[in-house]
Chains A and B, each alone.
Chain A
Amino acid sequence: MHTVVCIKQVPDSAQIRVHPVTNTIMRQGVPAIVNPYDLYALEEALRLKDRYGGRITVLCMGPPQAEAALRKALSFGADDAILLTDRAFAGADTLATSYALAAAIARIREDMPVDLVFAGKQTIDGDTAQVGPGIATRLGLQLLTYVSAVGEVDPENRRIIVQRRAEGGVQVLETALPCLITVLEGLNEMRFATMADMFRAARHPLTVWDREAAGIEDITKIGLKGSPTVVSKVFAPRPRTTRAELIEAQSGQPNDLADTLLAKLFTKHPQLGRQIVRRSS
């Protein structure tokens, strides 16, 4: 089984700041990390490899510095890493990004058939959740989004069963391979690479593809040219004015705390008490 995992290097959004004057994101000094959802995707691919064998190729589009993200993926146990980098890709929105990544996966397929493509449900910098579905659509792959657990895979009959989070419950779905899966947070815990893996990752030759190497001829489909999205205005949200309130009870006992909390709630929202009384009666 050959799995491709799409990863993206993103600024650590926990440490990101907005420039107070220009309202642009200040990337300087903000550490770059692998998009956390993509790590769940990678770990899920690694677990399938542990169970069924096969190969994992990680694919990343980004500037040359994104090499660090790929080396990290290699240290966890990916077999190959491809960096898709070209100035022509700069300024890509989700449409252009999915075009480039789909082209690269099509190129990968020429050397070795791809059974599964994994991606995180979304990136923490763009938050669109569009690139995974975009790739699936362009490549004609079955698409499973918001997957919370990967179940059985039947390589023989080329079937896979997953759990998918949906409104009001969990769907258990079966589909045919090849397919693309975007995964949710928390469905696994990332492994801790061994020292040997760290050495292998540091030494592994990285495959670097520019536009031509990825087999992309139409430059109107990639980068800024291929991106119809227009950012018309950027603004920082107004800071919240209402503050959290710390409720203290004299004794510190749970019962007293609960009583104090309820008293506060009912004083503030008298109709709440009336409703509860009405329902219970």
Chain B
Amino acid sequence: MNEKFDAIVVGAGPAGNSAAYTLAKAGMKVLQLERGETPGSKNVQGAILYSDALERIIPDFRDDAPLERHLLEQRMWILDDESYVGNTYRSDAFNKPPYNRYTIIRTQFDKWFSGKVQEAGAMVISETTVTDLHMDGNRVVGVKTDRTGGSVYADVVILADGVNSLLAKKAGFHPELRPKDVALAVKEIHFLPEETIDSRFNVSANAGVVIEMAGKITNGMVGTGFLYTNRESLTIGIGCLLSDFRKHGIAPYALLDKMKDHPAIRPLIEGGTMKEYTAHLIPEGGYHAVPPLYGDGWMIVGDAAMFVNSVHREGSNLAMTTGRLAAETMIELTADDKPMTAKNLARYHEKVKTSFVMKDLKKYKDMPKVLENNPQFFTAYPELLNRAAHELLTVDGVEKKAKERSIRRSFVKSRSWTGLMGDAVKLWRAFQ
């Protein structure tokens, strides 16, 4: 006897949970299948939670979700070997509820989110790998799992199986991931007493700080580093394009070790005990790497659809939003008594296109290529900026005009006038 559901959601990350929750809340018969031992056990993220995306799904999530610190301050550092130049934004407006961003520990957060999905009435089954899709011609009619008698059927299958969506690949919805379309990120969680973190980062009462970093820490590879404050721990990590790791032959952990040893970073994490070490792929191919989003009887959401805005370090909010939009599409079609054909599910694509998700990806569509082809943004410029700051801030009896001249000369010498102009234009265009 084979079971039949309204929808099967494959995967229990932010995208899958958002889809399953929204569908179940609307009274749909939902089955969510998760490969890991428990929902969340395989999930890795920095992690910052963007309230807006979750609020649109669970408005009162703040009542019981496990949140670490709300973000009061954002720092952006451009690092040279032993220095950094940076900017900081801190505002008391970020210190007033409802807070806009939080740091979270994903294992705890995902457990909570999955609990909500189950409360809403979805059936969640873990330790079950979806191995293939059941097709009827071009139409997806269900899934096959690795369990005996493991075929389950549904009107719609929502693929939320993450960055390396084996299912989408197998079904031919998605080409094999290219190493230059994914970043490999590694991170560690270091325990430190709450008071130490408060005083070290100049915060109190559950306020937190984010430091985003770029420059020489990535050894010339396209990537960024980060440091987030949790309640009783710090998360520190770094991610670079997989293709670059391969090209440069650097081990990710070695890169992270080197970053932790940077004179500006070492004192921040000093005395901490490492609690956790994780690594994960991040889809960073951007707009051009987004696969077809729907077909007869299926939709694809979240990381599996490459929905990550690598410039602004956003991903989970894109995942939650696309998960919700896919669910809402299905709810609307059901209300209109329309079948889940490709023609009708195209509405999901429309929704994604008119949302911030696709608009943001489109805005930065050329960014991956520009960064990939111009390593100077990760090497020469951080060095030049840091040296310029050093020169300007060193008081040594040299007149300021001469200092400015010398800084200008260093830029021209390193990049040439045309190079500087070209870089400015490239970056400006990529941000358009």
Residues of A that sit less than 8 Å from B by CB: 17, 20-21, 28-29, 31, 33, 68, 192-196, 198-199, 202-203
Q: Determine how close the nearest CB of chain A comes to the CB of B157; give it in whole angstroms.
A: 16
Residues on the A chain within 8 Å of B191, using CB = 17, 20
Q: Which residues of B contact A203 (CB under 8 A)?
A: 123
Q: Which of these, A20, A28, A198, contacts B125 with CB under 8 Å?
A: A198
B305 CB, min distance to chain A CBs, angstroms: 27
Q: Which B-chain residue is minimally distant from A194 (CB atoms)?
A: B148
> Which of B3, B107, B193, B273 is within 8 Å of A199, CB to CB?
B3
Q: Could you tell me the distance between the alpha carbons of A17 and B276 in the complex, rounded to whole angstroms?
A: 10
Interface residues of B in 79-124 (CB under 8 A from A): 105, 107-108, 123-124
How distant is the Cα of A176 from the Cα of B273 in the complex, in angstroms? 54
Q: Is the C-beta of B41 less than 8 angstroms from some C-beta in chain A?
A: yes
Whether the pair A20, B149 counts as a contact (CB closer than 8 A) is no
The answer on a CB contact under 8 Å between A195 and B37 is: no
Contacts of B3 in A (CB 8 A): 195, 199
Mask of B384-406 contacts with A, CB within 8 angstroms, 1/0: 00000000000000000000000
Apart from A28-B108, A195-B147, A199-B123, 7 more pairs, CB < 8 Å: A31-B41, A31-B107, A33-B37, A192-B148, A194-B147, A195-B149, A195-B152
Asked whether, in the complex, the Cβ of A192 is within 8 Å of the Cβ of B108, the reply is: no
Tell me if B123 and A202 are in contact (CB < 8 A). Answer: yes
- Smallest Cβ distance from B231 to chain A, in angstroms? 10
A195 touches B123 (CB 8 A): no
Query: A20–B275 Cα gap in the complex (Å)?
Result: 11
| B243: interface (CB < 8 Å) | no
Q: Are B150 and A195 in contact (CB under 8 A)?
A: yes
> Known: A199-B3, A202-B123, A202-B125. Contact between A29 and B148, CB under 8 A?
no
**A101–B300 CA distance with the chains assembled, in angstroms:** 48
Interface residues of B in 132-163 (CB under 8 A from A): 145, 147-152
B38 CB–A CB distance under 8 Å: yes
Give the distance to chain A from B123, nearest Cβ to Cβ, in Å. Answer: 5
A31 touches B108 (CB 8 A): no
Residues of B with C-beta under 8 A to A21: 193
Q: 1/0 per position for B181-199, CB-CB distance to A under 8 A? A: 0000000000101000000
What are 18 A-to-B residue pairs whose CB atoms are below 8 Å?
A17-B191, A17-B275, A20-B191, A29-B108, A31-B38, A31-B41, A68-B38, A192-B147, A194-B147, A194-B148, A195-B145, A195-B151, A198-B128, A198-B147, A199-B3, A199-B125, A202-B124, A202-B125
Which chain A residue lies CB-closest to B231? A28
B125: chain A residues at CB < 8 Å are 198-199, 202
Instruction: List the A side residues contacting B124 at CB < 8 Å.
Output: 202
Residues of A within 8 A of B148 (CB): 192, 194-195
- Taken together as a complex, chains A and B put the C-alpha atoms of A199 and B149 apart, in Å, by 11
A17: B residues at CB distance < 8 A:
191, 275
Report B-chain residues with C-beta under 8 Å of the C-beta of A192: 147-148
Q: Which chain B residue has the least Cβ–Cβ distance from A201?
A: B125
